[in-house]
Structure 1
């Protein structure tokens, strides 16, 4: 009988149990059912997801030990997260679980929460949003706990997390106020105290109150239960002491980090050792002991992942100890070591660049600065500093390469035939040995690949199929993954194609010389484009030596110009007076053109004065006054007080005067005066400015073709000057847009303006001035239109008086009807109309007759 009714009893009991677990009834069974279900099901899974997301965040985070570490390991990104999106799926899952726990198991009865796990759910919700970098929603979750659950055992944690969110939102003062109140009102202990004081320290760091932050970090390091956190807090203390200049206190803090040894991540231990060495006193400290300790760090197998940092610090130690060769060796080791610290690489390259710069090896310094910029954030302040330094070296590298190359060629032209043959025989023998060595390397690399492939195939044959990692092993045999074969391939490519820029149509022959003459390294050497027979034939190289006087003179002139520019650059930009002096002396010894002699001697005179070589300065002064008595330099040396900086004949003032004439459309005068200056002061640093101004005036006066030719001349002759680069930009970007000489027949009425043009001869200035006066008076009387006039030069013979401000072609053609009757009597000269677009074409291409004939037809 009992068994017969058992199923009904079970169903009834289950229904009764469910009814008893209602979220609307404050019963013992209901409270415990929802609490246990929320805690050990939904929140448990949510916490697992949160912990996984936090671990992934820590694994992906990279600390910048060149700056003070943040208290919390968390990278904040600037990307905007849209609703429904997440930076980390684990945090999104944790948030979903927390929300589900609240929705399914909250027991809000008569305004009070009966489920003790719901405050945990809101805390998890806020933390998940916080690490997903949605700080305002996370702040709402923490505030809800404080508002709704004031008696919660998680209330202090909620208060700390709320202030974390406030700090992320830059509300540092508010966070400090709230955390200080929390510490004053509550007796926090253990991890709660550590969390509150550490985040309060971060708020003080954000507002630059360093000493208070150090004190709070001491409390946090003593209270935390995590050795990882303790090591981090003590390391930050050491960094902060260093920023204040207290090296002894910093070293004590780093010693406390080192004491933790294996209880903390090894990166803290290694960084603490290296920071202590940075504080080493090179005047009073024991260098032998420090060197032995650095060697010990280097040789410790456990430190292999940190060799990039260790090598860099050893290099710095040797550099500070004036052992430059050892420093360079260890810096190069640091660069070759595996590292993800791009800032470390940037600093290493910069140091090597500075070392070469200080030794006046500017070409090498430029290469190191290029590498430095590759490892810096684009357009950041450090990037701009290095870029400015590199740009200043551009001219030096360019002219040094020209001087070196042309000196070599000229020395070969002066060699006797027998000496040339001996020279190139030795050169080709060296080249042959070098090629054979490279061939052996390539064969060895090929054998390595074949052997690895054979081993892999054998292994797979034995087991039928490769193990799970077999594909990865095969990938390692890929050509580009083998450094030996990759290096060989690069070298072979350079031999065949020379140095090609990364651009479309890279195989075009014009790209082969894109950098010719700019670099003095092995790129673009003549053997790279020789055939196999020619490569080892001395006669081939001898045939390339110029023999005609015209070619040799051209090379000599180019070399002399490079010497002069180098002398000026070393003197004016880098204050390298000895280097500048040597370049100017080399120039005078090279039988330079007459235009270089006087400015070179004057610059040498100034250099002798700066170097304190007064006897040499006096000799040069007398030489300039005796041989060039009418020159400006002689006048400066004879009467320096009379020739002041504001002398109207100074290059700067001449340029300012010419620029004003250009603005006033006196183009013929600009061209004439610019030519005079260029001839008189050829070699002066201001010559490119006069050349560019002359090109602009030429274009305005003679049209597009003359402008194109003049701009090309500036771009090629003064390639590495600011004016040359500006001319190159005009040639690449502006001239193609100006090249079209066709008149526009399709008019956009809403945008196009029209001009009324009166044509005058340039030989009748009085007639032109009188007409312009009458026209301006007439235009003042015109109603409904705001019309103005101007005088525009067309060419050497023609000048236009142009009326501006007309919006319609019809109005332009009936221009006289706009004038009063009395004004129409004064304006009798013929005119023609033109759109603004076509007027620009007329001025650029000087094709007025073609435009007028088109209208007549």
Structure 2
């Protein structure tokens, strides 16, 4: 018996030591799956989950962006154990691909190639070592991708076009996720297509479809993404998959701008997910969407749910602020105010007082309590900063209140302060534009006020001026007396110790002061650049910028808003020995009529610009209309008057016809032959565009060449101008000048053809009317008798050649533009001319049109 046992044992040992290489397809599926997980796939999963963990730790919500993401990578994955998906993939870093792609086809092991997959055979040690070398120094996502590729290459088992190793599904999910998070969605789609081709019957296929939809969303192919998600919603899928699907579908709908559908899908996601953190984030996102849709009541309820389930302190605070933002002003304002004020005093919430005061200010604004709102915003500024963006928004709200009062200096100052501390870049960009607009408006506004004051004083009598400045001097004395009292009080307090020695002061427990005068090893305080620099920064932090002066603690030399206004108005604050004499101010009032006229011209131009800026920058049509009508009432020069009338009519004729009617009547009555009047008659004519300075200059050049009898050069300039500016208001005028060029250079017949075209295309314009009148003359049989300076008839030369050159034109000289002193013949003047009213039309002479009623070149907008 012992011999038999020994013999069998020897046979087993020999059999076990024998080597036999099996083909990859013949290996055990069980062993293949086991090797896949423990040899490679485990490392790939570990790398991917490590990435999720690091991303979650570094994640910080931006509550000022339009929407927050739902997933933050903290929990284990939804739908599988592979990790959560990326809602923040757009912000992930750009990463290089791990492996070079091989040509399409099959590799040596019979496994189909996919982008980035190495085609090494199982057991090819050299290639595997090369792959391992590629992962050294790579990012975590690149390592996960490389490991997944290695698992696929080594352990994939395909028989009859079907993948037999079920672990390969997880490898492809890791591969797809790592590529999506590296912002390589197209390559992720390639990997997923392999799953759909070779693992058709896998029960986990809906998960692959979810990531397919996510990849489509990342390449902005929203139609395919939504089609994929919607198809999955119609199927009976695993509950965990349904949770993940609802999250990705709702965010994809938001990406595509479908807010109503996204809100409905978020409702489903809120009901499906039971995790507190996810419910809180879903509720907050739903609140943002509903607020964006103007449904503040529903949004407020959603924010309240977000606060209820929040497990993060920051999220709790921001949820409370969001609740306050959506207050509609009709609810219990006092109750909500008391609630927020109470919260701000409890425990750790006390560190966020500045944010709660800002929220209270928003609520007060909604409730119509403007003054109370401003008090809360200012309280927010005095509290410790917990969020710089909130500090900037508080500055912005205060500045906005100044803007509503037309105090542009004050608004600009607070807007600049907001820009200095804001952290959310889109808000800064928007506010930067508004700040620039305010500065432009401010310059015009205070120029108008200053010039109006000077012009008003210039119109006063001597007695009125004396009375005006006597009252001003009385106010000035009161002001200076108060300042003197403050100075004396500061002088009396000089020498008293008013230092800040409370426990929180940076000067507390400072026993050294300036004791070290070089005796000890540290040396003299002011000889150490480091200590001086540190002391300087600490001083500025506490006291700000101070000038070297006595009583510096009581005389902070900072420019106040009032000082800035005085500077804009030209009021100097420097004391003058004669400042209490009315004559000192009266002497400064200009009396020269030329200077006064220039002051009025500057004031009118600034007023025109101010009205236009009110409309263009802040869409404040009522204020813009009032400003421009005030300008019209003071009778500015014609160019400014026309532009002001046009702007009033253009901004009001559709939405407020009554406001534009007065401007329209002035244009039609006083300026009937201008292109602005033509626009007032037919405002919906899309062919009307205001003339530009470039076209005006081109017209002047062409007209000068016409007068110099350089007709071909004039024609070239006109053709180029018309081609470049086909819808400019001067186009009809250019065509008319071109017709006269043609008459001089090519003959009467060509000129008639061009005039007929002008009469047809521009029949309602003054140029079209003139073209018709010229055609009536040119087609008539009436002859023209020219005269010399004494009125004697000049014999006409017979026309022998129908095609004339410049020296012998077929169109008589009186038919084309000439200077007024040429042959005493009034000719058609195509140049700038003063428009005539209908009741002052000049008479015709010798059948030659008089163009004194020719429309002017429309003035440039100021």
Measure how far apart 1:107 and its partner are. Answer: 1.4
Matched, 1:644 2:687: no
* Aligned counterparts of 1:149 and 1:370: Cα–Cα separation in 2: 61
Distance change >3 Å, CA 642–CA 234, structure 1 → 2: closer
Question: Which of 169, 174, 180 in structure 1 is aligned with 2:224?
Answer: 174
Question: Which of 363, 374, 379 in structure 2 is aligned with 1:328?
Answer: 374
Deviations 1:106-160 (A, max 9, x none): 3134556665544333322322332233322333333344444445564332221
Maintained 8 Å contact 1:413/1:547: no
Distance change >3 Å, CA 310–CA 250, structure 1 → 2: same
Measure how far apart 1:209 and its partner are. Answer: 3.9
Measure how far apart 1:174 and its partner are. Answer: 0.8
Measure how far apart 1:454 and its partner are. Answer: 6.0
Residue correspondence of structure 1 range 149-548 to structure 2 within 5 A: 149-150=199-200, 152=202, 154-189=204-239, 191-260=240-309, 264-283=311-330, 285-304=331-350, 306-335=352-381, 347-371=393-417, 375=422, 377=426, 384=433, 387-397=436-446, 400=449, 427=483, 430=486, 478-479=534-535, 482=538, 485-486=540-541, 488-492=543-547, 520=566
Matched, 1:126 2:192: no
Greater relative contact order (Cα < 8 A, sep 6+): 2
Maintained 8 Å contact 1:68/1:239: yes
Deviations 1:364-405 (A, max 9, x none): 123234455665539966754664455333321455578899
Maintained 8 Å contact 2:324/2:362: no
Number of matched pairs? 567
Maintained 8 Å contact 1:318/1:324: yes
Maintained 8 Å contact 1:205/1:213: yes
Measure how far apart 1:171 and its partner are. Answer: 1.4
Q: Which runs of 5+ in 1 are unaligned?
A: 1-8, 459-473, 496-512, 529-537, 589-595, 611-635, 670-774, 779-857
Q: Which residue of 2 aligns with 1:36?
A: 38
* Aligned counterparts of 1:665 and 1:123: Cα–Cα separation in 2: 75
* Aligned counterparts of 1:406 and 1:641: Cα–Cα separation in 2: 31
* Aligned counterparts of 1:157 and 1:569: Cα–Cα separation in 2: 61
Give the secondary structure class of the aligned counterpart of 1:185.
Answer: coil
Q: Which residue of 1 aligns with 2:96?
A: 83
Deviations 1:314-357 (A, max 9, x none): 11222233432321122234456566867655654443333212
* Aligned counterparts of 2:570 and 2:496: Cα–Cα separation in 1: 24
* Aligned counterparts of 1:167 and 1:370: Cα–Cα separation in 2: 39
Q: Which moved more, 1:238-247 or 1:351-360?
A: 238-247
Maintained 8 Å contact 2:333/2:363: no
Deviations 1:627-680 (A, max 9, x none): xxxxxxxxx9x9998523547999x99x9999688545869x9xxxxxxxxxxx
Give the secondary structure class of the aligned counterpart of 2:670.
Answer: coil
Maintained 8 Å contact 2:578/2:584: no
Q: Which residue of 2 aligns with 1:46?
A: 47
Q: Which moved more, 1:117-126 or 1:429-438?
A: 429-438
Q: Which residue of 2 aligns with 1:103?
A: 150
Measure how far apart 1:182 and its partner are. Answer: 2.3
Deviations 1:164-186 (A, max 9, x none): 12112111121122222223334
Distance change >3 Å, CA 280–CA 552, structure 1 → 2: closer
Maintained 8 Å contact 2:189/2:215: yes
* Aligned counterparts of 1:317 and 1:415: Cα–Cα separation in 2: 46
Maintained 8 Å contact 2:408/2:441: no
Give the secondary structure class of the aligned counterpart of 2:50.
Answer: helix
* Aligned counterparts of 1:422 and 1:251: Cα–Cα separation in 2: 52
Residue correspondence of structure 1 range 673-822 to structure 2 within 5 A: none
Deviations 1:825-854 (A, max 9, x none): xxxxxxxxxxxxxxxxxxxxxxxxxxxxxx
Distance change >3 Å, CA 343–CA 141, structure 1 → 2: farther
* Aligned counterparts of 1:657 and 1:182: Cα–Cα separation in 2: 61
Distance change >3 Å, CA 355–CA 85, structure 1 → 2: farther
Distance change >3 Å, CA 425–CA 342, structure 1 → 2: closer
Distance change >3 Å, CA 291–CA 381, structure 1 → 2: closer
Deviations 1:775-822 (A, max 9, x none): 9989xxxxxxxxxxxxxxxxxxxxxxxxxxxxxxxxxxxxxxxxxxxx
Give the secondary structure class of the aligned counterpart of 1:490.
Answer: coil
Measure how far apart 1:50 and its partner are. Answer: 1.8
| Greater helix fraction, Structure 1 or Structure 2 | 1
Distance change >3 Å, CA 335–CA 149, structure 1 → 2: farther
* Aligned counterparts of 2:496 and 2:505: Cα–Cα separation in 1: 12
Maintained 8 Å contact 1:546/1:552: no
Question: Which of 113, 130, 136 in structure 1 is aligned with 2:186?
Answer: 136
Give the secondary structure class of the aligned counterpart of 1:139.
Answer: helix
* Aligned counterparts of 1:488 and 1:524: Cα–Cα separation in 2: 30
* Aligned counterparts of 1:94 and 1:639: Cα–Cα separation in 2: 72
Measure how far apart 1:291 and its partner are. Answer: 2.1
Maintained 8 Å contact 2:251/2:262: yes
Q: Which residue of 2 aligns with 1:814?
A: none
Distance change >3 Å, CA 384–CA 649, structure 1 → 2: closer
* Aligned counterparts of 1:639 and 1:69: Cα–Cα separation in 2: 55
Deviations 1:594-645 (A, max 9, x none): xx99999x99xx99xx9xxxxxxxxxxxxxxxxxxxxxxxxx9x99985235
TM-score when scaled to structure 1? 0.51
Measure how far apart 1:289 and its partner are. Answer: 1.7
Give the secondary structure class of the aligned counterpart of 2:671.
Answer: coil
* Aligned counterparts of 1:252 and 1:239: Cα–Cα separation in 2: 11
* Aligned counterparts of 1:178 and 1:577: Cα–Cα separation in 2: 52
Measure how far apart 1:35 and its partner are. Answer: 2.5
Distance change >3 Å, CA 294–CA 553, structure 1 → 2: same
Residue correspondence of structure 1 range 605-616 to structure 2 within 5 A: none
* Aligned counterparts of 1:171 and 1:545: Cα–Cα separation in 2: 76
Give the secondary structure class of the aligned counterpart of 1:133.
Answer: coil
Distance change >3 Å, CA 252–CA 125, structure 1 → 2: same
Maintained 8 Å contact 1:570/1:577: yes
* Aligned counterparts of 2:667 and 2:151: Cα–Cα separation in 1: 94
Measure how far apart 1:195 and its partner are. Answer: 0.5
Measure how far apart 1:276 and its partner are. Answer: 4.1
Distance change >3 Å, CA 308–CA 133, structure 1 → 2: farther
Deviations 1:426-471 (A, max 9, x none): 646646767999999997599965656769999xxxxxxxxxxxxx
Q: Which residue of 2 aligns with 1:62?
A: 62
